[in-house]
Amino acid sequence: MSNLIRWPFSALVVWGAAWLCYNFLAEQGTHPSVAMLMATSLGVLAAALAWLKGISKARAAALSMGFPVSLWLLGNASFPAWVWLLPLALVIWIYPMHAWRDAPVFPTPLNALRDIPRWAILPAQAKILDAGCGAGDGLKALRLAYVNAQWIGIEFSRPLSWVAKFRCPWAEVRCGDIWLDDWGAYDMVYLFQRPETMPRAVEKAKAEMKPGAWLVSLEFEAAELKATAVAEASPNRPVWLYQAPFTGQSS
């Protein structure tokens, strides 16, 4: 897919088009309510088309509601329409576009990994990586599951890495790129990625992780691998466990 239409650029294009539509209609003398309705319909149509192409519910909602929410926030204020982009710029600083393509915004629930030690037995002081640790929720869940370990978190967003360091002073947290880090030093790598990034994670795990190490994924299956075990974070929310050396998915 072209980088020009990848998230979040697609959202910026749709929201910008909705504002252009609204301003054009307003300049032509169209009643503000009608102009707002037509501009919002443009976003809803784009969201519907994106939904048919497989976009997530959250992103479809963002596409459809971006314009009306920004218009509502602006109200009758005297500052120009582009000011509503300032909060978006803050969000991008906190959660960079690189990270948007990798991991979901939603944090790991505290008890999501409580059952994985039943299958993934680790030695004392095992090194556990939370690859894309966000604000530290996954690290907290890993600590609850493995009380005698070394917890390491890597997060691409510098502001979020600061938050994780504050919330998890017992862990080693650093700002970095999980795809450039060497996973060979870890006894377990925990992921809460997206389905589209799982193939990349599988290739990296196969190339770097040592025999006996565990790859753990919340919700999203590594379809190329045969799972060693499947735990349950909550009803209908699996935790997939794979132990190196990895084997292909059985037919």
Residue 105 lies in a domain: no
Q: Are residues 132 and 217 in the same domain?
A: yes
Considering its fold, how many domains does the chain have in total?
A: 2
Domain that holds residue 216: 116-243
Which of the two residues, 149 and 58, has the higher pLDDT score?
A: 149
Residue 44 lies in a domain: yes
Residue 209 lies in a domain: yes
Which of the two residues, 140 and 80, has the higher pLDDT score?
A: 140
Residue 154 lies in a domain: yes
Q: Are residues 33 and 128 in the same domain?
A: no
Q: For 89-100, what is each residue's pLDDT tens digit? A: 555 554 555 555
Q: Determine the pLDDT at residue 56.
A: 64
- Has residue 104 got a pLDDT over 70? no
Q: Are residues 128 and 191 in the same domain?
A: yes
Residue 148 lies in a domain: yes
Q: Are residues 131 and 43 in the same domain?
A: no
Quick check: bond before 245 cis, omega within 30?
yes
Q: For 177-203, what is each residue's pLDDT tens digit? A: 999 999 999 999 999 988 888 999 999
Over range 201-215, report the average pLDDT. Answer: 96
Over range 11-32, report the average pLDDT. Answer: 82
Phi-psi region of 242 (alpha: psi -120 to 50; beta: other; left: phi over 0): beta
Domain of residue 177, CATH code: 3.40.50.150
Q: Determine the pLDDT at residue 1.
A: 40
Q: Are residues 90 and 130 in the same domain?
A: no
Q: Are residues 234 and 122 in the same domain?
A: yes
Q: Are residues 84 and 137 in the same domain?
A: no
Distance in angstroms (rounded) separating the CA atoms of residues 64 and 71: 13
Burial zone of 136 (CB within 10 Å; 0-12 exposed, 13-18 middle, 19+ buried): buried
Q: Are residues 89 and 125 in the same domain?
A: no
Q: Are residues 9 and 80 in the same domain?
A: yes
Quick check: bond before 8 cis, omega within 30?
yes
Q: Are residues 142 and 71 in the same domain?
A: no
Residue 29 lies in a domain: yes
Q: Determine the pLDDT at residue 29.
A: 85
Q: Are residues 120 and 238 in the same domain?
A: yes
- Has residue 81 got a pLDDT over 80? no
Q: Determine the pLDDT at residue 203.
A: 95
Residue 194 lies in a domain: yes
Burial zone of 31 (CB within 10 Å; 0-12 exposed, 13-18 middle, 19+ buried): exposed
Q: Are residues 134 and 40 in the same domain?
A: no
Q: For 141-161, what is each residue's pLDDT tens digit? A: 999 999 999 999 999 888 889
- Has residue 103 got a pLDDT over 60? no
Q: Determine the pLDDT at residue 89.
A: 56
Residue 102 lies in a domain: no
- Has residue 24 got a pLDDT over 70? yes
Q: Determine the pLDDT at residue 78.
A: 44
Q: Determine the pLDDT at residue 19.
A: 83
Q: List the one residue out of 212, 221, 223 whose CA is nearest residue 188.
A: 212
Which of the two residues, 177 and 35, has the higher pLDDT score?
A: 177
